[in-house]
Amino acid sequence: MIPVVSLACIDENVWIRVVGRGSFQCSPCLKKIVQEQLEQGRYDYIIDLGGCEQLDSTFMGTLTGIAQRLKTRKKGSVRVINVSESNKQLMENLGLDQLFPIRPIAEGKELPPAAAEYAFSQVTEAANISKKSVEETVRSAHEALVTANQANAPKFQNLLEMM
């Protein structure tokens, strides 16, 4: 199943939902969404992983890159919500909990304001993602993970050398 990424701008926040696997398949789309929103002056991101079955390192590295970019700008934030226990552990094992808040679904599902639910629109366009874009996203995602936490370097050394 190809992951589905949906977007809604609600108040000052950009809500991004991922349904399916948070993987290299939807990471270029996520990166593109954030770039477009930054160009429109939106800096606060809520990433809803309530429908996300599993995460890969490229997706987690893409989130890391977004958080690092906002930190460099000294403006904005990333919050990751509705995270399953297994995904939370994956993120914590890479040190992502040091970069942005991770709210587990076990603490209660967080939802956008009820009136805003209609505002979500699907933005995943997997068929339009070039091989070059995927490769660039994979490389930059893993570089971000290593930059964020040097303990990640041995985990991704072979992959980065291959790229």
Single pTM value for the model: 0.89
CATH number at 59 reads 3.30.750.24
Site of tokens 């552990």: 89
Range of the structural domain that residue 124 is part of:
4-162
CA distance 81 to 134: 25
Q: Given this model, what pLDDT does residue 92 score?
A: 97
Averaged pLDDT for residues 106-117: 76
Q: How many domains does the chain divide into?
A: 1
Amino acid (1-letter code) at residue 67: A
pLDDT at residue 127 tops 50: no
Instruction: For the chain, give the mean pLDDT.
Output: 89
Say whether 18 sits in a helix, a strand or coil: strand
Which is higher by pLDDT, 111 or 99? 99
Q: Given this model, what pLDDT does residue 116 score?
A: 61
Q: Given this model, what pLDDT does residue 117 score?
A: 62
pLDDT at residue 124 tops 70: no
CA distance 151 to 64: 15
pLDDT at residue 119 tops 70: no
